[in-house]
Structure 1
Amino acid sequence: MEPERRLDDKKGRRPRSLHAGPPKGMPERRKHPRPPLAEIRRAASLSLLPNAVLVGATRVVEFLIIAGLGFAIYLLHVAQEPGQHIVYLGAVVTGALVFCGLAQGFGLYSIKSFREFTSSYSRIVLAWTLVLAAFMAVAFFAKVGAEFSRVWLGSWYVSVLSLLLAERLSLLILMRRWLREGRLYRRAVIIGGGEQAEELIRSLEASPNTDIRIAGIFDDRGDDRVLPLVAGYPKLGKIKDLVDFARKSRVDLLIISLPMAAEKRVLQILKTLWVLPVDIRLSAQNNALRFRPHTYSYIGNVPFIDIADKPIADWDFVQKRVFDAVLAGAGLLVLSPLMLLIALAIKLTSKGPVFFKQTRQGFNNELIDVYKFRSMYTDMTDAEADRLVTKGDPRVTPIGRLLRKTSLDELPQLFNVLKGDLSLVGPRPHALKAKAKDRLYADVVDGYFARHRVKPGVTGWAQIHGWRGETDTEEKIRRRVEHDLYYIENWSVVLDLYILLMTPIALLKMDNAY
C-alpha cells in the first residue's frame, strides 16, 4: 500500500505504531518511495486508470502487433497466390493467440510485470521463441512446411521481438509517470478510527501487491475518543463531511472499519454514502464470525465484505464510452440536415441565438453546460429552471413548442456526448433549481443524488416509460428517480440499445412535454 500522507506528532516524532514495526509473525512492511506532497495533491484530481483496463488493453495491443506484423510481412515479401491468404492469416492469428496464452501463464499481464522490464522482456523472448518453435514443429510433422516462406518466418520472429521491446519500454515509461501521478492507485478513505482502524492500516501496509493509497480517516467521535492521528493518517472530518470531500477530491474506495455487530451504525453510514460513485467495503479482519472464503474480497491479504460497487466501471465504462462516441458521431452526420433546418427555423421566427446553454449537475454532481436548441423567447429564458414550463406557457415560441413536444430541442446534446459530459443513455440531467410542485427534487426524494453515480444521458429508462417533461407532482419525480436507479443497477449495452430504439416510439406519445 502506497501511503497518501503521514503526519508527525507535536514533538516531530512519528506515532509509535509506525516505529515499532509489524506485530509478531507479521512480515516486515515494504519500503515505498513517498511521492512529493504536491504530486499527491495533484493525483487527487486525476482520474484512475483501472488495472483491469490497462492489462486488457496491453493484451489486445500485443495480439495486434503479432498478428498485424505477420500478415503485413506476408503481403509485402511473399509471392501473393490467392489461395495462400487464408493460410497465412490463420497462421498469424493462431500464433498471436498462443503467445497471449503463454504470456498470461508467464505472468506477463500484470501491473507488477509492466514495472519490471528486464525479467518481463526475457519471458517475452522465451514465450515468442516457444510459439515459433511449436509453429515449425507442427509444420514439419504435418508436412506443410514448404507452404511457408522461411524469410517470412524469420522476419516475423525478429520484427515482433523488436516491436514488443519498443512497446514494453514505452509502457514502462508510462507506468512510471502514472505511478508518480497516482493514476494506478485507488484512493481510499477509512470510516471509523480507533484501534480497529489502526490494526487494519498495519495489515494493509504489511500486505503485498495492494493498490490503494489512504487519504485519511472520517469519524463522528471527538478527539477525546478518536485521536486526530490514526496510525499516522489524519482524521479529516465527520462522516457527513465525506460526501462533500469525495465530490471535491477523487475517492475510489470507502473502507468501513466497524464491527459487524454495529449493524445500525453501518446502515446509517451506508444511507449517507450510497449516493457516491465509489466502491464500499466492510472490513472483516477483526470479526469473529467467519463465512466461506468466496464471501470475501481481498486487498492484499486483508479480507473485506463487498457492500457496494461503483456502477459502470472498468471495461463497462470503456464499452459505454465507445458506444456513445460511435453512435453520437454517426447521429450527428445523419441528423445534420434536420439540425440545420431547425436552426434556420429558430433564427427566422424569433430574435436571439439558435442554441441555449444551461448549467446542470452531471456525474458525481459536477456542474456541466448542456446545449439545447432555444425554445423560449430570449428575454424570457430561465437558465436555472426556477419555474416549470407548463401547458400553453407564454415563454415558449411556436417553433419551441413543437421542438419540446418532440424532444428535438435536445439534439445539440449529441455534442455533449462527444465531449464526454453526457452519455446517450442515462438519467436525465436536471436543472439546478428544478422543482416538483414548489420543492427541489433533492428535498422530495431521499437519496436523489444516487442517480448521479453515472453520467447523465440524452434519453433514459424513465423517459421511454413516460416519466418525462413536467413534474407538477412529487409522485412524478419519485417515479422518474425509481426508473433511473433501476437503470443504474441493471445497465448493459443491450439495455442501452433497447432504450435508444424505444425512444422514438415514446416520443410519439408526447405526454407531459410542453
Structure 2
Amino acid sequence: MKSRIDLEGVLARLLDAMLIALGAALASRFTRSSAGFSIVDVAFCMTFAIFVLPWFGIYDSWRGRSKWRMSVNTVFGWIAVQACGLALMFLLHRTALVSRIWCVSWTVSTAVALVMSRLIAYVVLARMRRAGRNLRMVAVMGAGAHRDSVIANIVDSPGAGFRAVATFNTRHGSEPDFSGLPSFGNLHEFAAWVRREHIEEVWLALSMSEEQTVLRVLDEFSGDLVNLRFIPDMRGIAMFERNVVDLIGVPAINLMASPMTPYALILKAIFDRLFAAAILLVLSPVILSIAVAVKLTSKGPVLFTQRRRGMDGRVFRIYKFRSMRVHTEQAGVICQATRGDPRITRVGAFLRRTSLDELPQFLNVLRGEMSVVGPRPHAIEHDHLYRMIVDGYIHRYRIKPGITGWAQVNGFRGETDRIEKMRERIEHDLYYLRNWSFGLDMRIVLATVVKGGLHRNAY
C-alpha cells in the first residue's frame, strides 16, 4: 500500500512537471514570441514545483474533501513556484530575457492545466468508486441520530470513495443498532473484527461529552495502522456546523464564529464586485431614468440614505432611491411603510413594488459594505429591538448584508408587523449562513431575477 501511494505521488509530480513544460510551450506558440521563451526559467520552475507544491498539500489524499479548496491550493502553489523562479532569474540577471506577455500566458495556461488535470482525476476516481472500486471501508462508532446521519452522508456521497461496513453501538441496549450493517457492543470484539477484516477507517460519531469512550478507543487501536477520525456531534452546542480551524497552531472548533472560510469570503468578494460593476454598467440608462423621475415628481434628494449595521456590526450608510415624500421622523423611531402609506409617492410605489429602489445599493457592494446575496439589513432601531426578543438575530452580522437573500426569495420581505414574521425571516437567514455555498448564491440570484423583484408584501 505504501509503495503504491509513493508511486502515485511520484507520477503526480512528473505529470505536473510535464504540464509546466507544456504550458510554457503553448504560451510561446500563442504569443508567437520565441525570444521571450526562457528554457532556463522553465527548468527552474519544474524543479521548484517538486519541492514547493507539496507544501500546499496538493499531493495529499483529497478523498471526500472540497474540490474548490484543492483547486485554490493548486493555483496558489503554482503562483509560489513562479515567484521562486522569477526571484532566481532576478538574482541571475536574466529577467530581461523573459517576455512579460509570455510569462503571464504561461502562468495562466499552466494554472488551468494543473487544476483541470486534478478535476479530471476527481471525475475518473468518482466513477471508479461508484462502480465499487478504490473504496475505503469504514466502521462507524456511535449511537442515535448523529451516528445515523454520518452513515447517511457516506451513502449519499459514493464518489468520495467510502463505504460503511459495520457499526459499534456505544449505547448498546438503550439505543437500536443501525439496520443493515453488522453491529458490535463489545469494544474488544469490534477491534478484533476490524483487524481481521483489514478495515482502514474507524469514525467516532460521538458527543463532546464521551471523552472516556474516545480514550478507550485510542488505547485499543494504539498499536494498529487504522485511521481514527473523531466526528463530534456539535448540534447541541454550536451555532454553525462548520469546520475545525487552526488557531495559533492549535486546532479549534468554532462554536460561535463566522461560518464562512477565508476562501469562501474571497470568492464571494470577487463575485460581488464583478456582478455589481456589471449591473451598474448595463443598467446605467435605467438608473439615470429613475433618478430623473424621482427628482421631477417630488421635492427632495434623489437618494435616500439610512444607517444600517453590516458585517461584525459595523455601521454604514445604505443607499436607496427615495420613494417617500420628505418628512420628519421622531428621533430613534423608525415607522415602517404600510399598505396604502400616504408618505409613498406614485413613482416610489412602483419602485418599491419592483424593488428598483434597491439598485443604488450596488454602490454599497462596490464599496465593500454589502454583498449581492446575504441577510437584508434592518434599521438600527429595529436591530436594538429584535436582537433582544428573536433568538439568533445577532448572528446575521456574521457576514455582509445583501441586496437579496434566502428569506426574500422565499417570500419573507416587506413589513414585519408581527414578531412571528421576523422570526421566520431570521430562521431563513440562519439557514443561509449554515448552508452557504457559491451554488446557493447563484440560485438566489437566479430566483431574484426570475421573480423580477415583484412581491405582494412590497409596498
Q: Scaled by the length of structure 1, what TM-score is found?
A: 0.47
Change in Cα spacing, 1:426 to 1:302, as seen in structure 2 (3 Å) is: closer
**What is the alpha-carbon distance in structure 1 between the residues aligned to residue 329 and residue 285 of structure 2?**
26
Q: Identity of aligned pairs, percent?
A: 41
Q: CA deviation at 1:475?
A: 1.0
Counterpart for residue 53 of structure 2: 104
Q: CA deviation at 1:100?
A: 3.4
Change in Cα spacing, 1:94 to 1:456, as seen in structure 2 (3 Å) is: farther
Change in Cα spacing, 1:290 to 1:158, as seen in structure 2 (3 Å) is: farther
Counterpart for residue 497 of structure 1: 442
**What is the alpha-carbon distance in structure 1 between the residues aligned to residue 398 and residue 325 of structure 2?**
34
**What is the alpha-carbon distance in structure 2 between the residues aligned to residue 313 and residue 371 of structure 1?**
28
Change in Cα spacing, 1:155 to 1:92, as seen in structure 2 (3 Å) is: closer
Q: What is the CA deviation profile of residues 148-167 of structure 1, one whole-angstrom value per residue up to 9, with x for unaligned ones?
A: xxxxxx9689859xxx9xxx
Q: Decide whether the 8 Å contact of 2:294 with 2:302 is kept in 1.
A: yes
Counterpart for residue 297 of structure 2: 349
**What is the alpha-carbon distance in structure 2 between the residues aligned to residue 341 and residue 389 of structure 1?**
24
Change in Cα spacing, 1:97 to 1:368, as seen in structure 2 (3 Å) is: farther
Change in Cα spacing, 1:462 to 1:300, as seen in structure 2 (3 Å) is: closer
Partner residue of 1:78 out of 16, 23, 34: 34
Q: CA deviation at 1:364?
A: 1.4
Counterpart for residue 335 of structure 1: 283
Counterpart for residue 269 of structure 2: 321
**What is the alpha-carbon distance in structure 1 between the residues aligned to residue 297 and residue 248 of structure 2?**
65
Q: Decide whether the 8 Å contact of 2:392 with 2:430 is kept in 1.
A: no
Q: Which gives a bigger RCO, structure 1 or 2 (Cα 8 Å, sep 6+)?
A: 1
Letter in 1 for 2:405: G
Counterpart for residue 198 of structure 1: none
**What is the alpha-carbon distance in structure 2 between the residues aligned to residue 94 and residue 405 of structure 1?**
62
Q: Decide whether the 8 Å contact of 2:291 with 2:321 is kept in 1.
A: yes
Mapping 1:166-315, distance limit 5 Å: 290=214, 294-295=229-230, 304-305=252-253, 307-308=255-256, 310-315=258-263
Change in Cα spacing, 1:108 to 1:503, as seen in structure 2 (3 Å) is: closer
Letter in 2 for 1:473: R
Q: CA deviation at 1:94?
A: 11
Counterpart for residue 431 of structure 2: 486
**What is the alpha-carbon distance in structure 1 between the residues aligned to residue 276 and residue 358 of structure 2?**
13
Q: What is the CA deviation profile of residues 104-148 of structure 1, one whole-angstrom value per residue up to 9, with x for unaligned ones?
A: 237899xxxxxxxxxx99x957x999xxxxxxxxxxxxxxxxxxx
Counterpart for residue 324 of structure 2: 376
Q: CA deviation at 1:446?
A: 1.8
Partner residue of 2:374 out of 415, 423, 426: 426
Q: CA deviation at 1:473?
A: 1.2
Partner residue of 2:355 out of 403, 407, 410: 407
Counterpart for residue 362 of structure 1: 310
- SS of aligned partner of 1:378: coil
**What is the alpha-carbon distance in structure 2 between the residues aligned to residue 368 and residue 333 of structure 1?**
24
**What is the alpha-carbon distance in structure 2 between the residues aligned to residue 498 and residue 94 of structure 1?**
45
Letter in 2 for 1:338: V
Counterpart for residue 409 of structure 2: 464
Q: Decide whether the 8 Å contact of 2:303 with 2:321 is kept in 1.
A: yes
**What is the alpha-carbon distance in structure 2 between the residues aligned to residue 325 and residue 473 of structure 1?**
35
Letter in 1 for 2:353: K
Q: Scaled by the length of structure 2, what TM-score is found?
A: 0.52
Q: CA deviation at 1:384?
A: 6.2
**What is the alpha-carbon distance in structure 2 between the residues aligned to residue 70 and residue 99 of structure 1?**
20
Q: What is the CA deviation profile of residues 381-415 of structure 1, one whole-angstrom value per residue up to 9, with x for unaligned ones?
A: 68966111101111111111111111110000000
**What is the alpha-carbon distance in structure 2 between the residues aligned to residue 370 and residue 477 of structure 1?**
21
**What is the alpha-carbon distance in structure 1 between the residues aligned to residue 374 and residue 281 of structure 2?**
22
Partner residue of 2:397 out of 443, 452, 461: 452
**What is the alpha-carbon distance in structure 1 between the residues aligned to residue 292 and residue 50 of structure 2?**
57
Change in Cα spacing, 1:311 to 1:305, as seen in structure 2 (3 Å) is: closer
Q: Decide whether the 8 Å contact of 2:404 with 2:445 is kept in 1.
A: yes
**What is the alpha-carbon distance in structure 1 between the residues aligned to residue 30 and residue 432 of structure 2?**
48
Q: CA deviation at 1:418?
A: 0.3
- SS of aligned partner of 1:368: strand
**What is the Cα-based RMSD across aligned positions, in Å?**
4.6
Structure 1 gap ranges (5+): 1-62, 81-87, 110-119, 130-153, 165-283
Change in Cα spacing, 1:472 to 1:106, as seen in structure 2 (3 Å) is: closer
- SS of aligned partner of 2:381: coil
Q: Decide whether the 8 Å contact of 1:429 with 1:456 is kept in 2.
A: yes
Counterpart for residue 338 of structure 2: 390
Q: Decide whether the 8 Å contact of 2:35 with 2:97 is kept in 1.
A: no
- SS of aligned partner of 1:395: coil
* Residues matched between the structures, number: 282
Letter in 2 for 1:378: V
**What is the alpha-carbon distance in structure 2 between the residues aligned to residue 386 and residue 338 of structure 1?**
29
Letter in 2 for 1:102: F
Partner residue of 2:388 out of 443, 446, 451: 443
Structure 2 gap ranges (5+): 1-18, 59-79, 104-207, 219-227, 232-243
Q: CA deviation at 1:299?
A: 5.1
Q: Decide whether the 8 Å contact of 2:407 with 2:429 is kept in 1.
A: yes
Letter in 1 for 2:49: C
**What is the alpha-carbon distance in structure 1 between the residues aligned to residue 439 and residue 306 of structure 2?**
30
Change in Cα spacing, 1:503 to 1:92, as seen in structure 2 (3 Å) is: farther
Q: CA deviation at 1:441?
A: 2.1
Q: Decide whether the 8 Å contact of 2:312 with 2:397 is kept in 1.
A: yes
Letter in 2 for 1:391: R
Change in Cα spacing, 1:328 to 1:384, as seen in structure 2 (3 Å) is: farther
**What is the alpha-carbon distance in structure 1 between the residues aligned to residue 455 and residue 42 of structure 2?**
52
**What is the alpha-carbon distance in structure 1 between the residues aligned to residue 385 and residue 329 of structure 2?**
19
Q: CA deviation at 1:311?
A: 1.9
